[in-house]
Amino acid sequence: MYASIVTLLLLHTWTTLAKAVSVPACQATAPNSKPLTNITTAYTNVTTHPFGLAYALHDDVAFVALNDTLGVLNTSTFPPVLVHKVLLPIEYLSDSIAAKNGGILDGSTGIVLSSDGRHLLITAFSTWLIIVDVARAVLRAPDAVVGAVNGSLIAGNSAVEVAITKDDRYAFVSQENPSPLSNAKNGTIEVFELYGLKRTGGVSGRSVGYLTLGVGPVGLALSMDGRYLYATSEGPNKATTPQGTLSTIDVETLKHDPSKALLSTVIAGCGAVRVIISGDGAILWVTVRESNHVVAFDRAKLVSCPEEALLASVQVGTSPVGLVLVRNDTRILTADSNRFRSPNTTSGISVVDVQAALRGEPADLGQISSGIFPRELAVSPDGETVLMGVYGSNKIQAVDVATLP
Ligand SMILES: *[C@@H]1O[C@H](CO)[C@@H](O)[C@H](O)[C@H]1NC(C)=O
Ligand SMILES: *[C@@H]1O[C@H](CO)[C@@H](O)[C@H](O)[C@H]1NC(C)=O
Ligand SMILES: *[C@@H]1O[C@H](CO)[C@@H](O)[C@H](O)[C@H]1NC(C)=O
Ligand SMILES: *[C@@H]1O[C@H](CO)[C@@H](O)[C@H](O)[C@H]1NC(C)=O
Ligand SMILES: *[C@@H]1O[C@H](CO)[C@@H](O)[C@H](O)[C@H]1NC(C)=O
Ligand SMILES: *[C@@H]1O[C@H](CO)[C@@H](O)[C@H](O)[C@H]1NC(C)=O
Ligand SMILES: *[C@@H]1O[C@H](CO)[C@@H](O)[C@H](O)[C@H]1NC(C)=O
Ligand SMILES: *[C@@H]1O[C@H](CO)[C@@H](O)[C@H](O)[C@H]1NC(C)=O
């Protein structure tokens, strides 16, 4: 309630005072911002490159995708402790394009907790959706993996993020790269129907179709009412032309007739990669990696009036990827990955003042330093801690939210 009143006031202020906002241009590196040296932060070593992160609903536990395992983090201490690793079914590793190409293997990538908190869905091995029983993983039981559903090669072979419907019956997976079976350049959103998530025991499922989106779809977010799925696409010339996009997708149509589910697409900047929704559902925030910006959209206008949907655009650090809202949506943190390892710039965590951003005023409060290639972020259920996977340093960085500016 409080949050929605604030948003209404901010939207009102924006419409009456602010100058027109435009999508950010492509930018090689971000100018260095103020180093934030007075933040309580600490690292946990993990065994390999951390990718997706998700907290459990209870139990002071979080999970992290660690290639061929799912790491279980005990978050009752600061920083957390890696207490257990669930081995994922590596017999499916041979399906992984990364393994075949001999590159760095992202065995597992995205993670999402089911709506009832009892299962984790993990995208892995390019086409697979692995289902883990949360309670069994926490108890270190040997049978924590309760399902493995394979995708269809037609939909793509580079699964990154996953979202799940409120009834825990459908999962949507971003397939960043197109199927090697087609000449298409675009990626897709693959649709999985799942059976048995509400029960204890085995989970099965099948890939039921896909929606072709722009080039390089990655970031996914479901609206709170479950009606819309939002997806980013990096765009065809992500480093040179602002053609990254944010798409609005109708969830009911996506389940049954995916190719007809796209409602609208707006330009977001160069290399749009992740999207989150404000707590009141009114604003979408998107990281645009090759613009080194985070941009805000008025969710209500994305379909009805897309040319007026852009609300704000804020300079952050170089190559931002993950982002989270903290402190009642008054701050945004971005994982400034510098993933292309440009010299003369820093990786880290930018802190953005949300109200200032929406007023069109300087909003970058500074950057917390981190290791190599920070990537994904997660906020604890009590809002007091943020965890970030530092992919290139094999570490999890914990940040005490109370010490942010
Ligand atoms: C650092 O933070 C602490 C507590 O958050 C505060 O008491 C102190 O004044 C801050 N120091 C600086 C130099 O900002
Ligand atoms: C974490 O790893 C670093 C090397 O990256 C090492 O120097 C440090 O001692 C390790 N910390 C712990 C607590 O094991
Ligand atoms: C990922 O796991 C596979 C299978 O165990 C292993 O061959 C590979 O070296 C691992 N890669 C990294 C970067 O840890
Ligand atoms: C986490 O660590 C605390 C303190 O060591 C312990 O009491 C608790 O049982 C642990 N929880 C899990 C799920 O491992
Ligand atoms: C999983 O799906 C991929 C893509 O369709 C396919 O190449 C692979 O053979 C499948 N693996 C199994 C074990 O069915
Ligand atoms: C493929 O992506 C491009 C650019 O992102 C877009 O203009 C085009 O409409 C997409 N094609 C399909 C079939 O969705
Ligand atoms: C968030 O807002 C609630 C009231 O809606 C308030 O009780 C709480 O203290 C606020 N939290 C922070 C961190 O500002
Ligand atoms: C980095 O900074 C150094 C020193 O200012 C400069 O010589 C070099 O050209 C810069 N490199 C890039 C890629 O901007």
Query: Could you tell me if the CB of 2 is within 6 A of ligand 7?
Result: yes
Domain 14-403 of CATH type 1.10.287.1080: no
Indicate whether 18 pLDDT > 60: no
> Which atom, in ligand 5's list, is nearest to the CA of 91?
13
> Of all atoms in ligand 1, which is nearest to the CA of residue 402?
5
106 lines ligand 3 (CB under 6 A): no
Q: Is the CB of 3 under 6 A from ligand 3?
A: no
Q: Which ligand is nearest to the CA of 182?
A: 6
Contacts of 361 (CB under 8 A, 6+ apart): none
How far apart CA 318 and CA 164 sit, in angstroms, is: 30
What pTM was computed for the model?
0.93
**Whose C-alpha lies nearest to ligand 4, atom 14?**
74
Instruction: Decide: 327 in ligand 7 pocket, CB within 6 A.
Output: yes
Smallest CA separation from ligand 1 atom 1, residue = 38
What was the pLDDT predicted at 114?
Answer: 96
Give yes or no for a contact between 107 and 125, defined as CB atoms under 8 angstroms apart.
Answer: yes
Q: Which ligand is nearest to the CA of 92?
A: 5
Q: Which atom of ligand 7 is nearest to the CA of 330?
A: 14
pLDDT tens, position by position, 153-173: 899 999 999 999 999 999 999
pLDDT digits (tens, 9 = 90+) for 280-332: 999 999 999 999 999 999 999 999 999 999 999 999 999 999 999 999 999 99
| DSSP states along 43-104 | EEE-SS----EEE-SSTTEEEEEETTEEEEEETTSSS-EEEEEEEP-GGGGGG-HHHHHTS-
Looking at the CA of 379, name the nearest ligand: 7
Confidence category of residue 1, pLDDT binned at 50, 70, 90: very low
Q: How far is the CA of 400 from the centre of ligand 8 (A)?
A: 34
Question: Does ligand 8 come within 6 angstroms of the Cβ of 344?
Answer: yes
Judge whether 122 and 185 are in contact, CB under 8 Å.
Answer: no
Percentage of the residues of the chain whose pLDDT score is greater than 90: 86
Domain locations along the chain: 14-403
Q: What is the pLDDT of residue 91?
A: 86
- Closest ligand 8 atom to the C-alpha of 342? 13
